[in-house]
Structure formats: structure tokens, C-alpha cells
Structure 1
């Protein structure tokens, strides 16, 4: 019998200053902690943001079951609720930021956006400067009153996040208002509303307008965008919980287990059970 291995949720904890909503360290320091019994290669689902800037070395990091190859200039941003994993034999170096969702100023740490991208030479220099400033102030302020430290560090973090967002292109014109409203609605209602036309109607758009806006923004139609979000959550629940596949389907708006199994297999090529088993054997 194959033993199931599910993905644990990890809560934010700053071992230096418990009340501070950000920790600034390095990938090397994180590996040192692994020597104290922390298994970095085990998949986990953090309840906080994990942001790394690779300055040296190579490796692979997996986010939501997608492996990304890392090299100098790579950025990895794992957002709360995503499943992430440090792959064995990865030896990357660079700054690592761990911060609570409520720590940065509003509108600077979107729950959406790419998990990985590559910086240009100029962007690498600008990001490294911002990250170094943040690290220096963090080292100097960790013994200051938490309120004072938090305010300054939050603004420095916001500057770095905005710089990285500009470099990733997530603030470009492709993310039009129509798509942004649709994306927010999908995030809120994907477990109960599975038809793109229903979103168009609720948002006050014609199906054609919504299709054009979504295609322009992310290169796919609204139905595919919606289906990908549903399947992603199904994968997370299959990996992270002990819920039966039928219960997961019901949670995602499929009261008939057969319909959920067909939906999942059509879009992933495997059954829910086979997907869960593959994680146990990994």
C-alpha cells in the first residue's frame, strides 16, 4: 500500500522578532536552518509570501507543481496558499524575504502575478540595490521598537516589490480593467460558478468583450482561465488534505463525483486518485 504524503501548511514565524511581520535573510542562512532538522525539499504551503532573488548558483524551485530553473537574475515569488518546494541539489544564493500578507502597504503585494521571471542586467542592479537597502535596515532595526521598525521596513519592501513588478511586466497595459475585474471575480467564485458567460453577465460585459479582454491579458479565453484556477485548487486540495476526491469535487462545485473525475481527467490527463498517488511516490 502506498503511504500518502500530504503537503503541510506553514505559518509565518520570525524567530528573531516574533512581532515583526517580515524576516530578511539569505538562501544560505535558510540552508543552515535545514541542518537543524528543517527539510527544505519537502513540499509545503506557506501562509505568507516567500520572495527570493537569485544572485549566484543554479537550481530548480517548484511552485504549484511547476518546476522553474533558476540562475543569477531569477526571481521566485511564492504567494500565500501556493504549494512550493526547494528541489534537492539546488545551490542558489541571494536575498530571501518572508513576510505576512498584511505587512506591505496596500496594492504592493498582489495575490496574483507570475511565480518566476528573469531580470535584465539593469533590473538586477536596481533590485539588488533595493534588497540590500532593505537588508541593512532590517539588521539595524530588529532591536528597535516594532512599530517604528515595521513602518520603515514596510515602505522599503514596497519599493522593492514595485521595482520587481515593473520588471515582470505585471503592471503593463495587458492587464486591462475588464480582465482584472474578471480575475477578482474568479478568485472569489470559482468554486461555485463554472461558466464564463455567468461572469460576463454578473460583471456587465458581453461574452465577446470578456473573451477579448482575457485573451489580450493572458493569451487564453475566460473559460480556460477559469478552468485552470479550478484545477489548480483541486490539485492543492488533493496534495494538501486527506479529503476524499469526491469531497474535494463537492467543495469545488461538483456534487456528482463522476462529473468531477471526468472534468479533472479531461484537463490534466490523469484521475484525481492517480494525481494524489504520484505525489506520494515523489
Structure 2
């Protein structure tokens, strides 16, 4: 039996690729048994991905949660997230893949809010439902046509970059309608600083007061910021973050739960097992077996 969830890297078949690729859902479905890992089985992404469904209904797994998809649904995933498709004969659409290096290269051309809304998995749902009268599909189809045009490669990279920026701007416009409560503000800035601290220190502390001290604010103020941003307490956000990290590590490595406990900063493996079961309903080993 396979011992872990594969870590899927960006591997374009197009020569001299600069870190971005587009393919159809249908082509991936046809090839699913001929590639190294069946995309219908859970896998961890080493790149960023946008999936646009143009026809059919199905589900897509994002970080251990199955999301319903249908015509004009967009799913966006960040590097490191767990993904799996559920193909059927009626399903059609496009998949845009791009590396972190490509994303960073485009940052100067993209409004800051776009990066916050589209690639902050802890803040937003991965789903965007595109209105029928929106023209997002036209630009994605144009991108696919340009990418598939092998007859002419002159200045294609600039064409990709321009279309990429347009597509992202369209998605940001749609996303902001779904997240009106999250405006650019001092609270959002502080929350993102808290999240960054948590990413770098979650193995050292799961105590909200630790992070409040680092931010030079009170525990009460940090709680208020988290409640206003995500409608949960700072402690609840910390727990959700740690549990998700534990899930990803459990299914994407051969690490034992005892080793993982110490790696995540738990003094005793039994404390980690109790903590994980409290928040998921499963022991670490049961969860790993279920997903593999």
C-alpha cells in the first residue's frame, strides 16, 4: 500500500516554460491512469492552481473538505494544500498551474488585495461562483488558445503575463463581493501579522497570549481582531492552524504520530493524540489510514 500522499511538483511538458501552464479538465481525466499519480487520489500541491469548471457537476477536495462544483465554479488552491478531483464524463473546464516563482514575478502587476483574497487559505473559501454574465471564461479560453498555439511563440511570455493579470483582476472583483466584511484595514494588517507569526512559531507555542505579546497588543485586542476577521477567537484560529498542519504532515510523510507530536511542539505524544482527537474526532493514525 502507498505510504503517503504524493507531493505533486510543477512539471510542464512545454519547452522553456517560465512557470505557468494551462490544460483542460478533460485531458487530465483521460490521462489519469497514465500519469505518476491518479489526480482523483489525494495529493499535495507544490504549486498554485486555479480550476474553472465550464460544464458538469462534481466535487473537489481541498484540504480534506469536499466542495460541490458546477458550471462556472472556480476553485483556487495555494502551494502546500491537499487536492483531489472527482471526474465524470460531463465534466469540462480548465486548470491553470503556476509556481510560487511565477506568482512572485507577477506581484508588482497585481493589487495587494488579490494576493490576500485568492491565496490565503485560512481567510477565505477556495470557491468562487462566477455569474453567468461575467466574461472570466473568455479570458481563460483565450489564455488556453494562446498557450496551445505552438506555431508562434514570439512574445508569448508577455501575452501570458497580460492575460494572467486580467484573469486575476476579474477573480479579485468577484471575490471581494463575497468577502465584503474584510476590507483593507489596520485590523486585517494585524491579523496577517499574527498569521505570519503563527506560521513561524506554532511549534513553539499554541498560546494566544504569546502572539499578543509578540504583536505588542493585549490578548483581548487580538481576540477582537480574530472575531472581527474570522468570527472565531485567537485560540480557535491557532488550533485550526495546528490541526491542519498536522493533517498535512500525517498524510504526506511517513512520520509517526509520536514523532509528529514532538515536531509540533507537544511535550508528550499522548497530549498530541488527545488534542488531535478533540478537534477532528479521529486519532492521528486513524485519520492517516482513512485518507491513504
Answer yes or no: is the 8 Å Cα contact 1:58–1:90 preserved in 2.
no
Answer yes or no: is the 8 Å Cα contact 2:5–2:251 preserved in 1.
yes
Which residue does the alignment assign to 1:271? 283
What is the count of residue pairs matched by the alignment? 274
Per-residue deviation at 1:41?
1.3
CA displacement, residues 163-189 of structure 1 (integer Å, 9 cap, x when unaligned):
213312377452522222222222232
Do residues 29 (structure 1) and 36 (structure 2) align?
A: no
Gaps of 5+ in 1: none
Residues 14/109 of structure 1: CA separation in 2 closer, same or farther (3 Å cut)? farther
Q: Superposition pairs for residues 192-203 of structure 1, below 5 Å?
A: 192-203=204-215
Answer yes or no: is the 8 Å Cα contact 2:59–2:66 preserved in 1.
yes
Question: SS at 1:17's partner residue?
Answer: coil
Do residues 19 (structure 1) and 17 (structure 2) align?
A: yes
Per-residue deviation at 1:276?
1.4
Match of 1:239 among 251, 256, 277: 251
- Taking structure 1 as the reference length, the TM-score comes to 0.88
Per-residue deviation at 1:159?
2.3
Question: SS at 1:62's partner residue?
Answer: strand
Do residues 117 (structure 1) and 128 (structure 2) align?
A: yes
Per-residue deviation at 1:55?
1.2
Partners in 2 of 1:190 and 1:162 — Cα distance?
Answer: 33
Indicate the larger mover: 15-24 or 259-268.
Answer: 15-24
Answer yes or no: is the 8 Å Cα contact 2:26–2:92 preserved in 1.
yes
Answer yes or no: is the 8 Å Cα contact 1:44–1:85 preserved in 2.
yes
Answer yes or no: is the 8 Å Cα contact 1:238–1:276 preserved in 2.
yes
Partners in 2 of 1:262 and 1:67 — Cα distance?
Answer: 25
CA displacement, residues 210-260 of structure 1 (integer Å, 9 cap, x when unaligned):
111111111111111111110001111111111110111111111311111
Partners in 2 of 1:33 and 1:18 — Cα distance?
Answer: 23
Residues 161/141 of structure 1: CA separation in 2 closer, same or farther (3 Å cut)? farther
Which residue does the alignment assign to 2:45? 46
Do residues 174 (structure 1) and 155 (structure 2) align?
A: no
Partners in 2 of 1:126 and 1:69 — Cα distance?
Answer: 22
RMSD (CA atoms): 2.3
Question: SS at 1:102's partner residue?
Answer: helix
Per-residue deviation at 1:201?
1.2
Gaps of 5+ in 2: none
